Amino acid sequence: MTKKKLIAANWKMYKNPAQTREFFREFLPLVADHTRDEIVVCPPYIDLCAAVEETKGSNVGVGAQDLHWEKEGAYTGEISRSMLLDIGCTHVIIGHSERRQYFGETDDVVNLKLKAALEAGLTPIVCVGEVTEDVLRRQCLRAFHAVSSKKAGRLVVAYEPVWAIGTGKTATPQLASDAHIVIRGEAAKAFGQEFADKLRILYGGSVKPENAKALMSEEEIDGALVGGASLDPKSFATIVKY
């Protein structure tokens, strides 16, 4: 079955609003007639409004890199689902390995955030990607806990092996495919085979213009989550057009 691939940019803690506008003014014309893949850019919170304004009416969506699971409350420094929706975000990254590693985000927190995003109608991009298959399975199992297949409709999963993130080392298409099969198996257990077959599983970890085509040619790989190489408009456009 062919699914529309999703090519998503994760800018991490790079770029201010002015740089965000500059990026889109160069990037949008490069991908203006590109309809084969869905394109989403996830900048830091402070850039989201500028990104939404710049991309209005274009073929590029905007997502956040995180959200809080509560609707509102006394949570200094946090951002809620309705705030993201209100300004025009459509996607949100959840459980990125940097959040797990540096900010103590647990599988249970990932699960809460996933449920919050789905409830709000945001498209969650849930990141998993530990070294061993056991841990990878556990990450999926706990992220998907108590999420019904009916509610999970928009779910996207990103497989990002921790050793490949920001290192320049990329998983071979074969290795990534094998991990995607494991993730799809867990999704089938949680949501049923039909859902799992339709689930988009992205690969992330040092995706670059030079390796995008080989990775995206794999049947099991339904898109990419791109960090470093998404910061430059030409480089990201080349990846989108792999």
Please identify the residue of the shown chain whose CB is closest to the bound ligand PGA. 227
Strand, helix or coil at 52?
A: helix
Check residue 207 for interaction with ligand PGA (CB under 6 A). yes
Using the rule CB under 6 A, give the single segment among 24-32, 63-71, 84-92, 198-206 that binds ligand PGA: 198-206
| Residue numbers 6-35 binding ligand PGA by CB under 6 A | 10
Bridge partners, residue 200, by sequence: 156
Q: Side-chain half-sphere of 111: how many Cα atoms within 13 Å?
A: 14
| Spacing of C-alpha 121 from chain mean position | 15
Eight-state DSSP code of residue 144: S
CA–CA separation, 66 vs 57, rounded Å?
24
| Nearer of residues 153 and 166 to ligand PGA, judged by Cβ | 166
Q: Catalytic amino acids?
A: 96, 160
Quick note: the x/- pattern for ligand PGA over 152-181, rule CB under 6 A, is --------x----xx---------------
Task: Say how many C-beta atoms besides its own lie within 10 A of residue 112's C-beta.
Answer: 15
Strand, helix or coil at 132?
A: coil
| Nearer of residues 48 and 225 to ligand PGA, judged by Cβ | 225
What is the closest distance, in whole angstroms, from the C-beta atom of residue 192 to ligand PGA in the complex?
28
Using the rule CB under 6 A, give the single segment among 29-37, 50-58, 213-221, 226-234 that binds ligand PGA: 226-234
Strand, helix or coil at 119?
A: helix
In the complex, which residues of this chain contact ligand PGA (CB under 6 A)?
A: 10, 160, 165-166, 204-207, 225-229
